Structure 1
C-alpha cells in the first residue's frame, strides 16, 4: 500500500484503495475477473503489505484470522530518539480523549492500569472505554538521536504503535505530526542535527511523511494450504533515503 492512500472513502476522499479493487482485479486476472475483497486495513499514512482475496468466503476466513490475532504482524518504524531498553513490551491500555484548547480535537492516548507511588506499583481505575493494547518492540539499528525499530502489535487498537512509541517510550515516529505533541496539532519539532541530516529546515518538517511501514504478515495454514504464508513488502524509497541520511543501517532483507 502506498503512502497517503486511504483504504475506504469518506468526507474529502477523492480516491481510495477500495475504489480501485475492481480495476486491479481486471489487470491481474482478466476482464471478467470478480472484484477483489479487503481482508484488513492499514491507516492512511502507513505503507506496506496488504492482503486481498479473490473470493468473498476466503476474505471472511482471513478477516477472522486477523480478528482472533492469529496473523503475525511486523512493522518497521524510524523513531526520534532511541527507546530504553532496546527491546521490550509496552502493555498499556489506550483510550480516545478530547484535547482541549485552541485546536479542539480527539486523540488516542494511554490509560495506564498502574502508577508508581513511593516506589510501589499501585493499581489505578481505568476508563471503561479503554482498550487493551500490547506492542513488542526491538531496536534494529540506532544512532545517538534516532532508531530503526521492528514492532509487533499483539493487539490492533487504533493508532496503537504511534501512541505506544510517542507516549509510552517517548520516541515518536519520524513524521508523526499528530502524536509528537499531546496538546496540539502541529508539525513535528526535530533537533537541529536531525534536520541537518535530513536536509530540511524546520519550516519544511510538516512535509515529512510518517515513517511507519507494514513490513511483514505471516498467515497460518488455511483451507487447502497446509503451510503458513509469509508476505514481505519492501520499504518505500523515502524510508530508505531517511535511513541513509540518519546513518541507520538497513538490515539484510530476506
Structure 2
C-alpha cells in the first residue's frame, strides 16, 4: 500500500506514485522500472500473445463449417484501414481516368454507424493515394450496396464524375444484374415483380422497422360493384425482373435485374412477393420477428448445418454485372464480377449449377 497521506494508482501490473516513479507490489523488489522498461515489458507481452497459435479449426465437419461462417462475418471488422484499402485495391475489377470499380466484400458496410469499426467510406482517401499518389483526391461513392451484399461497386475519381454517374443510376440508365440463392423457388420460372415498397414499423416484443410491400390498390366491393382503392401514397415504385437458373435441394439460383433502386428491393420482392427469401436473409425471412431463417431439412443436410447454427449463414446476394453508358456514342462499359467463395461453395453443396451461358 502507499504510505499514509500519499496517493497511488495502477498502470499495468504496477503501482504509480505522483511524480511518475514506479514501484512493484513486492516490498523486496529491486530498482523501480523506468518508463522505457515498462513499455518494453508491455511490447514483450504483446509479442508473446501474437506467438500463440490461432484458435484451432474444429475437426467435426459441422463445427468446422460454422467456424468458417463466423470467421467470414468478422474478418473485415478487425483489420487496419490500410490493410482494408489494400484488399480493395487487390480486388479492383476495372479502372480508367474517371472511375474505379471494386469487388465489394461480404460484411463490409458502405457507411459508418453504431458498432461499425471499418467501412468503405473511411478508406476511400487511402485507396485513392494507393492508386494515384499522396496528392490524390479521395474517391467518391456513386451508389450503395447493403453491408451483406457482395460484388460490383463503382467509385469516381472526382465529384463531377460521381454526380454524373449518380444521375445515370437515378434515371435508370445503368443496367444491374444480381445472382441470388433462394430458399424455395418462384412458381413461374421467369417474370416481373412490380409491387411498390414502403418502410413500416413491426410491432412485436422487439419493435423494429422493415421495408415491405405496398400494393398500388386494394379491391373494395360496395353495392355490388368492384372498386380499386389506392393505398400508401408514400410508397416507392419498385420493379424487379427475375429468371430461375437452377433448382435443387429445396433451393434455387435466380438471376435478378432491378429496374428501380429502392432500399432492400430485391430482398423484399423475393421474400414477400415471390415467397422465396434469399438464403441467409435473417431479416426478411420473417415479418413479425427478428430470428434466424428457417431452412428445409434437405437444404440443412446439403449445407452441413443444424438449424440452431443457421444464424451464421451469410446473405447469398451478389451483384454480378453492371453496364454503364460511356460518352455520347452509345458506348458502354460492361463490368462482370464472379461470386465470392462462400457463394460458390453453397452452390456446390446445394447441387445448383449455372447454365453455360451464365458461367462465363
CA–CA separation in structure 2 for the residues paired with 1:236 and 1:210: 11
Task: Choose 1 or 2 for highest CA Rg.
Answer: 2
What residue in structure 2 maps to residue 150 of structure 1?
A: 255
Residue in structure 1 matched with residue 264 of structure 2 by the alignment:
159
Distance 2:110 2:298 in 1: 35
TM-score, normalised relative to structure 2: 0.67
Find the residue that maps to 1:49 and give its secondary structure: strand
Q: Whose relative contact order is higher, 1 or 2, with alpha carbons under 8 Å and at least 6 apart?
A: 1
| Residue 238, structure 1, aligned to residue 324, structure 2 | no
Q: CA deviation at 1:226?
A: 5.3
CA RMSD of aligned residues (A): 1.8
Shift of residue 113, structure 1, vs aligned partner: 2.1
What secondary structure sits across from 1:108 in the alignment? strand
The DSSP-based 3-state class of the residue aligned with 1:90 is strand
Cα distance in structure 1, aligned partners of 2:226 and 2:146: 34
Q: In 2, are the aligned partners of 1:114 and 1:122 still within 8 Å (CA)? A: no
Mapped partners of 1:226, 1:19: distance in 2: 34
Q: CA deviation at 1:74?
A: 0.4
Provide the residue aligned with 2:281 in structure 1.
Answer: 176
Give 1:248 shift.
Answer: 0.3
Shift of 1:56: 1.5
- The Cα of 1:212 is off from its aligned counterpart by 0.4
User: Post-superposition shift, 1:127?
Assistant: 0.8
* Alignment check: 8 A CA contact 1:113 1:123 kept: no
Residue 75 (structure 1) aligned to one of 175, 178, 191: 178
Aligned partner of 2:111 in structure 1 is 8
Query: What is the rounded CA distance, in whole Å, between the counterparts of 1:125 and 1:79 in structure 2?
Result: 31
- Which of 192, 198, 202 is the equivalent residue of 2:303? 198
2:214 to 107, 111, 117: 111
Which runs of 5 or more structure 1 residues have no equivalent in the other structure?
none
Asked whether the equivalents of residues 200 and 209 of structure 2 are also in contact (C-alpha less than 8 Å), the reply is yes
Q: Distance in 2 between matches of 1:61 and 1:97?
A: 32
Using the alignment, how far apart are the partners of 1:181 and 1:197 within structure 2?
A: 23
| Pair 1:12–1:121, CA change in 2 (3 A) | farther
Q: Tell me how far 1:31 sits from its aligned partner.
A: 2.8
Query: Contact 1:82–1:144 at 8 Å: present in 2 too?
Result: no
CA distance in 1, matches of 2:307, 2:253: 22
Residue equivalent to 1:57: 160
How much has 1:191 moved relative to structure 2? 1.1
Q: Does 1:249 align with 2:353?
A: yes
2:127 equivalent to 1:24: yes
- Contact 1:72–1:217, Cα closer than 8 Å, also in 2: yes
Instruction: Summarize deviations over 1:136-175 as a string: whole Å, max 9, x none.
Output: 0001111251111010111111111000000000000000
Q: 2:249 touches 2:350 (CA, 8 Å); kept in 1? A: no
Could you give the per-residue CA deviations for residues 170-220 of structure 1, whole angstroms, max 9, x where no partner exists? Answer: 000000000001110000000111111000011110000000001111011
What is the rounded CA distance, in whole Å, between the counterparts of 2:130 and 2:178 in structure 1?
Answer: 28
Paired residues in the alignment total 252
CA contact (8 A) 2:249 2:302 kept: no
User: Match for 1:134 among 229, 239, 244?
Assistant: 239
Shift of residue 88, structure 1, vs aligned partner: 0.2
Change (3 A) 1:104 1:24: same
**Partner SS state of residue 240, structure 1:** helix
* 2:203 corresponds to 1:100: yes
Contact kept? 1:114, 1:121, Cα under 8 Å? no
